[in-house]
Chains A and B, each alone.
Chain A
Amino acid sequence: MASDNVSSQKSLGFVSVRHRLDQGYFGGYLLINSVARPLEFHCTVPVQPTRAQSILFGPTLEEFLCGEQICRALLSRAKLQPQVVLVDSPAALCVRHWIDLPILWVQAGGASGGASGGTSLEQSSTGELLSPTSLEHGFQTPSQQRNASEYAERSSEHYRFCCLESYRSDLDAVDWLNESYAIEHDLREPFERIIEALSEAHPRTKAA
């Protein structure tokens, strides 16, 4: 039996924030190693915005909740520091202002075409338990929601990556991803695991 210690130095982070109308926002952070095995998992309690927050943050409320609040809390609690953190919604990108790690929003459908920017999570086995934020709460792609110049974008064969323009160098992590991980793994799949784990951690979210 080969004794191959898989290095945690090559860990990869995935953050997903999901929304339920009745309970608020749930965040999950999964750290995996280079062979996709879990190393750490963190999740938040449900976060419900106050009415004041809704008024004060206006259209940026989801950025505030997903990025500044939930993602920041999750990333700051992890023990391991990954090479790069992938998020599944643009609202989470603003966590980059507080965390010194490359943060990329990954979408299916790269240079080779294929799927649109829509999330594959909609087909998750637990999709009915925690509906994708994009469906339930109108998360939009950066190009639709905000000025495209605020984001830097890069495509690979199967994926499209975006980061905040002010952290354009984060896109350098795409090379590392393509070389060490994405060639053999589905970069969207760990988000499905996070959704499953959120339903385990918050049993009330399970469908009646």
Chain B
Amino acid sequence: MNDSQGSVPLEVLSEFYPTIPLSELAEIPAVAGWQSELVTETLPRMHNALAEYSGLCAAPAPKVLAIQLAHPLPKTIGFSFPESPHWTLKTPLLSGPNDGKGSEAQAPGSEDSSAKDPQTDSGPEGLGNHGANSTGKKTRIKPPRNLIRLEDRLYYVLQPPLESIVQNAKLTFPFQPFPYQMDGIAFLYARSSAILADEMGLGKTMQAITAIRMLLLSGEIRNALLVCPKPLVTNWMREFRQWAPEIPIAVIEGDSSKRAWVWSNPQAPVKIANYELMLKDSSIIDGESLYFDLVLLDEAQRIKNRNSTTSEVVRSIPRSRSWALTGTPIENSVEDLVSIFEFLSPGHLRDDMHLKSLGHATRDHILRRTKDKVLKDMPPRLYRNADLELTPEQRASYKIAEEEGVVHLADLGESVTVQHVFELVLRLKQICNFDPVSGSSSKLERLEADMEEIAASGQKAIVFSQWVSTLDVISERLARFNPVEYHGRIPSNRRDGVIERFRNDPSCNVILMSYGAGAVGLNLQFCHYVFLFDRWWNPAVEDQAINRAHRLGVKKAVTVTRMMAVETIEQRIDAVLSEKRELLRTLFAEAGTPTNLGLNRNEIFGLFGLNVPPRFKGFAA
């Protein structure tokens, strides 16, 4: 540094002479050179050798300043992460004993292939080179918002993309998951409390199974309990065999001693129980010896009544992670959602929370996608409203029943109840299906005509009704199409056979289902026609029914025929439900959560122009 002051900016000088104010530095005479100020002890020292040399010369050489710039290394923070001992999969997990029914593993693809994506249906496959799927997307695991510690958050942030994990672990899938499904897996993977609320048919089952599979392989969980409706147990077993064939499964069933053994069996990392059995085995569940790293509830709307015994037993299961699957987190009111959260994260939601607060509190816990948003290439649902005139016989019966019914309700005066109105509604709806005297039915005539065409083209159809007795009548009239029935009167051990026959028997063109039994968990995407012979009270349940056919793997558009008798109670119900459906759509867009979907008390009374009796006012609908 032998330059004059004039060429060195003041701010640089100030860094070398931090103790001298900038104003004083500026006042140092340029002609004297800033070296003349070096006598100050606070200034950097000179090298001695240079100083001595300068003193020996007759003509003093310019003084040389050696500035020692200290460069301490920057501060760091660091974290170490546990190395998973169980990450790569070398051999299938076939050795675990099981109940002899639930864990027979098969090679992927050897099972039901009905759910395969037609565009990628080429047998088991991984996710391509360098862990990216065909879209090149890398799915990253993002930490949930409620994870506070930086170390915990970084643990997830620093994980490789899911596609890479899948590839490293040599995991194969019967078909390549869609990108949104990988997002769903990543969502579940990182969360201790989560609701996967995808619209029916988007593959919630596959996403949950794969997330469980990856957590087991990574050693982050060691055991998991799946609770589902009893009719869906075999469906889950089939899906596990397809998506995670190496994982032994134990189904909790049989007599009490056998169930007790299965509950305590440590060899099967995944156990499947049904809601009905949870009540019987509540004493085992409450025991201290039972603990699950993960409890997954399928069709979690089953615990929407938090005071029910089922809900209480499910909530009592000792566990670390709680997941729920449901296509309808809110069937009737936001209280349904609050109840599910009592299982996921007790106290997180309250009934009196404002809708906006609810949306804010749940947004990191709920993942919901709809087909129109994520499956733009999926064949559409084509709605066809079959507005039918009643036959003369039906009209006559209907008119009499309605007039008598309304008069009866009016006579009841203050003592009228919802039940009274409901009974009248049901009676009128049944007449809309068939005339009770002659059996004539405009709906059935239309259905027969449509079935002729469907059968002629080798297609299959699903017919839904809320009454088994109605299905019986339909079955007789459609006998030439070899119908099979799937409803509450069909024993659960025969139901799989019914589905298999419908799937495999070319002569069997129609399956008759009740909303209750057939609305959830079944994969009937080979079926391209759905008839709603009568209408359910809640559009969410109708949607579930329709989505038995309109789901992943469907190859053609699904035509949904909504049968409705004009100028009847059915039209009035439909008008109310349409309004609610629109409201739901609006609320999901704005707040992420829907509100009441079913009919409330005001609306039920309103069907006949009645006012709610004063004694009901002030009560929740």
Contact = CB atoms under 8 A, between A and B. Distances in A.
B69 A52 contact: yes
Contact of A39 (B80, B157, B165): B80
A52 B89 CA distance: 55
A3 B86 contact: yes
Contact of B164 (A6, A189, A196): A189
Contact of A8 (B83, B87, B89): B83
A180 B169 CA distance: 15
Contact of A2 (B80, B83, B88, B159): B88
Contacts of B75: 44-45, 73
A42 B371 CA distance: 42
B159 A38 contact: yes
Nearest to B88: A4
A50 interface: yes
Contact of B154 (A27, A53, A79, A200): A200
B257 interface: no
Interface in A67-110: 68-70, 72-74, 76-79
A56 interface: yes
A77 B78 contact: yes
Interface stretch (A29-37, A133-141, A169-177): A29-37
B90 A2 contact: yes
Given A73-B74, A125-B140, A200 B150 contact: yes
B157 A3 contact: no
A41 B93 contact: no
A144 interface: no
Interface stretch (B10-18, B104-112, B558-566): B10-18
Interface residues of A, number: 51
Contacts of A43: 76-78
B154 A184 contact: no
Given A50-B15, A193-B157, A200-B154, A42 B76 contact: yes
A185 B164 contact: yes
A50 B87 CA distance: 46
Given A45-B74, A56-B69, A200-B154, A185 B85 contact: no
Contact of A193 (B16, B73, B160): B160
A51 interface: yes
Contact of A73 (B73, B85, B160): B73
A208 interface: no
A175 B352 CA distance: 64
Interface in A42-62: 42-45, 47, 50-53, 55-56
A5 interface: yes
Interface of B: 11-12, 15-16, 69, 71, 73-81, 83-91, 93, 130-132, 138, 140, 143, 150, 153-155, 157-161, 164-165, 167-169, 216-217, 246, 269
11 contacts: A1-B93, A4-B85, A4-B90, A35-B88, A36-B168, A38-B155, A42-B79, A44-B75, A189-B161, A196-B158, A197-B158
Interface of A: 1-6, 8, 27, 30, 32-33, 35-45, 47, 50-53, 55-56, 68-70, 72-74, 76-79, 125, 184-186, 189-190, 192-193, 196-197, 200-201
Given A32-B160, A37-B81, A42-B79, 12 more contacts: A1-B216, A1-B217, A4-B90, A6-B88, A40-B81, A52-B12, A53-B69, A56-B69, A196-B157, A196-B158, A200-B143, A200-B157
